[in-house]
Chains A and B, each alone.
Chain A
Amino acid sequence: MAYQIVEGCVNCWACAPLCPSQAIYEAKPHFLIDSVLCTECAGEHPDPQCASICPIEGVILDSLGVPLNPPGSLTGIPPERLAAARAEIQAR
């Protein structure tokens, strides 16, 4: 049972010092979670710490590969709206 950090992480350092298991380490191109050390914070915190402070949607996945912070959940920007804005900017 372990979480993972995937592409999109902006290397903001917020998660690493919070991890009770010291499972998060700096790496290129982005931070990573040591799957052996990660306990999903069980017994330590009611909420997994990394996923509770990470500001970027979709970059921390649970053991099933499901994002803990799905699109729209942190910024409040509806995903369709973001897609539309992106399309509009690219069409310029």
Chain B
Amino acid sequence: MELKVSDHSGSASAVAGGCSASGCGSSGDALAHLPEHIRAKVHNHPCYSEEAHHHYARMHVAVAPACNIQCHYCNRKYDCANESRPGVVSEVLTPDQAVKKVIAVAAHIPQMTVLGIAGPGDPLANPERTLETFRQLTEKAPDIKLCVSTNGLALPDCVDALCTHNIDHVTITINCVDPDVGAKIYPWIFWQGRRIKGRKGVAILIEQQQKGLEMLVARGVLVKVNSVLIPGVNDEHLKEVSRVVKSKGAFLHNVMPLIAEPEHGTFFGVMGQRGPTHDELQTLQDACAGDMNMMRHCRQCRADAVGMLGEDRGHEFTLEKIETMDIDYGRAMEERRQVHAAIEANREAQRKKSGETFISITALKARRRETPPALIAVATKGGGVINQHFGHAAEFLIYEANDQDVRFIGHRKVDLYCSGGETCGDAETALAKTIQALSGCAAVLCSKIGYEPWGALEAAGIQPNGEHAMEPIEDAVAAVYRELAASGSLERATPAPLRMRA
């Protein structure tokens, strides 16, 4: 086993520049309205706190293959689409194997603070496997937070068992609160020994989801709600969903885009249901944000993902490799504690620094009131700074800047433009796709960029910029917005929206 145990030292030092984002910690903090005890709970949770996801990592283990419902966006040959990208199959682990893997990862990636079970099916349709994994981890690795995602059908039956295992985060995928809407999303459920089709089944599912949500909130467990935005099916309805789940005490509502292609073999894919455009998703997220907190940094990671959001280091921890690792978790836990303390000190420092940024942005506002807002894309490997080569970015973070504020609004995945080696033959088409994915952005910030993509981006009206390497993202975005505003290039119209693709 050749894994570097001191792996974290590199990323920890890369954190130094820091994230001073407004959506990350100060004025625009999406968690600011929450009671103190809830904020404390999500503070280090990369999936729930926008700011934390720059610094901490999460992992999922695939221990739960079975499911008790069918969603029209899911092909059951692949991972649960409620929490994962379709099209990638996870290696299903036994609880013992999963526990081994988690401990190995926690020892090698001390930033890993959260373990989630999200599939590949529904974790609570596999209660023995899921609960056994949690039981062992609660005992062996008490410094890891546990969370679970579910479609909600079996949730009321599992709430008490979950509570004994010290689980403080649960995600429920709720796409509707009206069985007539749901009948277009769920063809059947399996309930008390029978397959129940259509509206009748959906009515039971909705009732169980709402009951589970209420029970969890009553027991002080944090509940996040995920919804899949399906244009023409539940888009308008999700505002109602947002209102209902908020009134019942869910603390975050995360709207994800439907990803449907015929080749996925799902009902929606085959029947030609389209996914939302970036604009539609953003509009809906904005509409629901007035109602409640939205989470915009979700990467729809797969059921066995390992690492920072948007990265997957699962290949370093295959069953074969973890078999050969011998881990002293007591020692690892001490090391983890130290790394977390360093990260916290760093975050504190960044928070102080960020105040200065706002003064300069406010000054800008006084000078130019009429400049339109702009979308700016950023290539980052984490740590809250611009530190990734344009060609190495598998996704870009999208920020919206105006003359008062910079806020994080989402991310766009791309095929690697430069994947090195033989595959570089595809560079041209990959570049074209990347440029498409960045449509609507006025600029893209990265640590470095090649000559060829530079020209192509410029031609597409997207200003490449490599001058802010290692700078905090929001400071750089604000600076580039200022330059763009001053040059007058923001007055131009933006290209038509693009549909999201897998």
Contacts and interface: CB of A to CB of B under 8 A. Distances in A.
Interface string B462-498: 0000000000000000000000000000000000000
Given A10-B77, A12-B121, A74 B187 contact: yes
B271 A81 contact: yes
A74 B125 CA distance: 18
Given A45-B193, A55-B76, A81-B271, A13 B262 contact: no
Given A14-B66, A75-B70, A89-B262, A47 B270 contact: no
B262 A53 contact: no
Nearest to B272: A85
B121 A74 contact: no
Contacts of B266: 75
A66 interface: no
Contacts of B128: 17
Interface string A41-52: 000011101001
A14 B193 contact: no
Contact of B67 (A55, A82, A88): A55
B72 interface: yes
B400 to A, nearest CB: 36
A47 B194 CA distance: 6
B167 to A, nearest CB: 22
Interface string B66-108: 1110101000110000000000000010000000000000000
A81 B267 CA distance: 10
B76 A46 contact: no
Given A47-B194, A53-B190, A55-B76, A14 B67 contact: yes
Nearest to A75: B267
B65 interface: yes
A14 B262 contact: no
Interface string A10-42: 111110011000000000000000000000000
Contacts of A10: 76-77
B193 A46 contact: yes
Contacts of A89: 262-263
Contacts of A85: 262, 269-270
A56 interface: yes
Given A11-B65, A12-B121, A56 B194 contact: no
Contacts of A81: 270-271
> Which of B195, B263, B267 has the most C-beta atoms of chain A within 10 angstroms of its own C-beta?
B195
Contact of B65 (A13, A45, A46, A47): A13
A46 B191 CA distance: 13
Contact of B194 (A17, A52, A74): A52
A17 B77 CA distance: 19
B126 interface: yes
A79 B298 CA distance: 35
A66 B267 CA distance: 24
A13 B126 contact: yes
B187 to A, nearest CB: 5
Contacts of B265: 82
Nearest to B125: A14
Contact of A75 (B125, B187, B262, B263): B187
Contact of B121 (A14, A46, A52, A82): A14
A88 B262 contact: yes
Interface in B188-216: 188, 190, 193-195
A81 B272 CA distance: 10
Interface string B255-299: 000000011011101110000000000000000000000000000
B67 A77 contact: no
Contact of B72 (A55, A56, A76, A82): A76
A47 B195 contact: yes
A49 B191 CA distance: 11
Contacts of B269: 85
A41 B68 CA distance: 19
A11 to B, nearest CB: 7
A6 to B, nearest CB: 16
A59 to B, nearest CB: 11
> Which of B72, B92, B193 has the most C-beta atoms of chain A within 10 angstroms of its own C-beta?
B193
A76 B267 contact: yes
A49 B76 contact: no
Contacts of B187: 74-76
B261 to A, nearest CB: 9
Contacts of B262: 85, 88-89
Interface string A77-91: 100011001001100
Nearest to B195: A52
Q: Which 3 A-B pairs have the closest CB atoms?
A: A14-B66, A55-B76, A53-B190
Interface of B: 65-68, 70, 72, 76-77, 92, 121, 125-126, 128, 187-188, 190, 193-195, 262-263, 265-267, 269-271
10 contacts: A14-B121, A52-B193, A55-B67, A74-B70, A74-B187, A74-B188, A75-B267, A77-B270, A82-B265, A89-B262
Given A56-B76, A77-B271, A82-B265, 15 more contacts: A10-B76, A12-B65, A13-B65, A13-B121, A14-B121, A14-B125, A14-B190, A17-B128, A45-B193, A47-B195, A49-B193, A52-B193, A53-B66, A75-B266, A81-B270
